[in-house]
Amino acid sequence: MNPSIWSKGMYSPSNICLDGCTAEHLSSFQPDPLPPDSDASGASVTLHKDSEKINMLPESAYYSRGDAGSSLICSNQLELNPSRDAVLLSTKRHPSSSCGHHDWNLNSGHQAKRARVENIIKGMTGSPGMHCTDVTTNQHEVSDGMQENERTQELPLHQERSGSGSMRKQLESQHEHLRQLRTRFNHMDGITDPTDSSNEDKYPHWDNSTETSLRDACTDSFGEFESSSSRKYQGWKKVKLMSYFQSKPERIRLMADVLKYELSRAVSKSVDSIFKSMPLLQTSPDDEGNVESDSSLQSSVCKDNKVRLLCRGTEEVQVPDVQTEALSLVVQKPRLDRADKFILQSRSRAHRRPKSQTPFGYDSALSEEEPSEKNTARQHALRCLQDGCSDVDQAKYETFDTHWNSVKVRSKVNSRSVRSPQTRSVSVDPLLLQSLCLPHVKIESDSLVKNNLYMLNEGLTTNHLKKAKLMFFYTRYPSSLVLKMCFHDVQFTRCITSQLIKWFSNFREFYYIQMEKFARHALIEGVADVRGLTVGRESELFRALNMHYNKANDFQVPDRFLEVVEVTLREFYIAISVGKDRDPSWKKAIYKVICKLDSDVPAEFKSHHSG
């Protein structure tokens, strides 16, 4: 063959397809260029585009979802409307709307207060089933008629159950906080937007600052938010939102910042108090009375998808001076990590056994440690970062360098046999686990089991993998009998068998991909005759294969393999040249040919020699 054909750099993956795909094809898929936007500054442009986008959406997109957004609206409106707006609500609310809580006795101030706080929580958590506006207005009717000192005595439903005095204090301070919030917004929002008046007749007044806050907090979930309300209300809200933002961006921003800050604190405290009143939801004892308790609680709250809207929105707040508070709602890593770390440490220690303990006699015979791995120290460092090795472990690294070379595995190939007597960090019977043959990926929720299975589920090591790769030089389609003979040192379970079969399947996959690639290149390079296609040890094709199956290059590849490769390459070349590759299953015929070219695996692979 012409060696230049296989020289590096001549081929690139999928170039055939790309050759047929001209620049015209590609350009036809490019999006239309954006029109030159001379007015590219400021929020007005953004808002304009947003409004366009919103208006372009089909109406079904708005209203097909559930009620999460509406309850959110309720709660915010409920809590944050200045009393001025509440007065409007009390006189001009929708007469026909209804909310699912018919049996609330609104004449009872106490129950109304309870409902109010409960509604806050429900609104924050976006719980479905809250159909909205009227409840909020009714509650405003009641609550805004109260004196401020009465507000401080409010007790939510969950708090009443617990009957704790400290919680009562918490809640009192919380409501005091909210009261201050109202006061501040009354002060800031002294000017009424003229666009409001036209809509107030028809719809309950939606406080601008509330809407601002919602917009910032819910941008990510805007579609959800949008889809939740009634049509008319929705249309009104959109118009109002847009006009407001276009008119007073600076003030909006300022108010939004303050509102985000206050809202974060209020929500944080509210959720905190609720969760503290429910013992089952409390985190571990070391969190109690701790500064972390807030974040832990928020974490558990945010994990609940009911409040994802809230959590996400808070994450996106980008106001430096209030970031500290906003972060209290950011999802934190679950404490599961700690358990993982512990187990991984155990696993690391378990690996460090004397080299003489290497479980399989094969190891020392066919697999010297790969000399190409000069950067094992760095890899180890990286691994330790992941697995949680201690500094002492790092210091001892050199001692175990050799061993690490044999056990460090990129994925889930196990470093030890399940029958190894050195198993120390095992809290579950390895044989039991093996007999269960559980796919470890299926039980990721249990980190303990998962990590143990990582160690134990299969008795195949990297050295077995190396051996299998070398076997591939002889047999591409090994029978299960051959596999059992060659891997007699592992206990053959269904898992082991499948694993080995999968290995060879992957080997074949790589093999045939290379064949197709080089065959296509030969065609491109104008190789006119299959007789021009030969494969020698210097050819790029062989190098690629050898690099894959015999990376250490410490194994003399049999000539027979070169012949098989050559046959395979020619098969691909012919098939492609006559256009068989248009058939989806055109490779099957080739597979059929190649599977007959398997050789016997040498006895060295089958015997249990130890060197």
Partner DNA sequence: ACCTAACCTG
Partner DNA sequence: CAGGTTAGGT
Residues that bind DNA (CB under 7 A): 410-413, 439-442, 465, 469, 477, 480, 494, 497-499, 501-510, 512, 548, 585, 587-588, 591, 595
DSSP state of 280: G
Q: Give 326's contacts (C-beta < 8 A, 6+ positions apart).
A: 260, 261, 264, 314, 315, 317, 319
Q: Minimum distance between the CB of residue 531 and DNA, rounded to whole angstroms?
A: 26
Residue given tokens 């006119």 in the structure block? 528
Please identify, using beta-carbon distances, which residue of 397 and 510 lies nearer to DNA. 510
Least separation in angstroms between residue 24's CB and DNA is: 25
CB of 497 to DNA, least distance (A): 6
C-alpha 599/C-alpha 229 separation (Å) is: 71
Is 127 within 8 Å of 306 (Cβ atoms)?
A: yes
Measured from the CB atom, the residue of 222 and 492 that comes closer to DNA is: 492
Tokens of 444: 């990721």
- Closest separation in Å from C-beta 299 to DNA: 25
Task: For residue 501, give every residue at least 6 positions away whose Cβ sits within 8 Å of its Cβ, in sequence order, or none.
Answer: 480, 483
CB of 447 to DNA, least distance (A): 15
Q: How far is the CB of 577 from DNA (least distance, A)?
A: 18
Considering only CA atoms, which of 515, 424, 409 is closest in space to residue 465?
409
Alpha helix locations (H) across 222-355? Answer: 222-226, 231-247, 249-276, 292-303, 308-315, 323-327, 336-351
The set of residues, in sequence order, having a beta carbon less than 8 Å from that of 293 and lying 6+ positions away, is 272, 283, 287
Q: How far apart are CB 410 and DNA at their closest, in Å?
A: 7
Please say which residue, 291 or 481, places its beta carbon nearer to DNA: 481
Q: Which is nearer to DNA, 397 or 512 (CB)?
A: 512
Q: To the nearest whole angstrom, how small is the minimum distance from the Cβ of residue 302 to DNA? A: 24
* Min CB(359)–DNA separation in Å: 17
Residue 379 CB, nearest distance to DNA (Å)? 16
Using the minimum distance from each CB to DNA, give the nearer residue, 253 or 484.
484
Nearer to DNA, 211 or 387 (CB): 387
Cβ proximity to DNA: between 146 and 437 the closer is 437
Shorter beta-carbon distance to DNA: residue 71 or 462: 462
Tokens of 174: 């919380």
The CB-of-496 to DNA minimum distance in angstroms stands at 11
Residue 497 burial (10 A CB sphere; 0-12, 13-18, 19+): middle
The three-class DSSP label of residue 495 is: helix
396 vs 588 by CB, closer to DNA: 588
Query: Of 347, 350, 490, 462, which is closest to residue 406 (Cα–Cα)?
Result: 462
**Shortest Cβ distance from residue 381 to DNA (Å)?**
23
Q: What is the CA radius of gyration of the chain?
A: 35
What are the DSSP calls for 41-77, one per residue? Answer: -SHHHHHHHHHHHHHHS-HHHHHSS-SHHHHHHHHHH
Q: How many CB atoms lie within 10 A of CB 139?
A: 25
Q: Residue 112 and residue 106: Cα distance in Å, rounded?
A: 6
Say if CB 228 and CB 70 are below 8 A apart.
yes
Helices (H) and strands (E) in the chain, counts: 33, 0
- Looking at the Cβ atoms of 352 and 508, the one nearer to DNA is 508
546 vs 590: CA distance, rounded Å: 21
Considering the complex, state which of residue 254 and residue 501 has its C-beta at the smaller distance from DNA.
Answer: 501
Give the residue with the Cβ less far from DNA, 153 or 553: 553
Closest CB to DNA among 442 and 582?
442
Q: Do 211 and 240 touch, CB atoms closer than 8 A?
A: yes
- Cα–Cα distance measured from residue 409 to residue 340, given in angstroms and rounded to the nearest whole number: 18
Q: Report whether 561 contacts 484 (CB < 8 A).
A: no
* Torsions phi, psi for 162 (to 5 deg): -75, -35
CB of 552 to DNA, least distance (A): 12
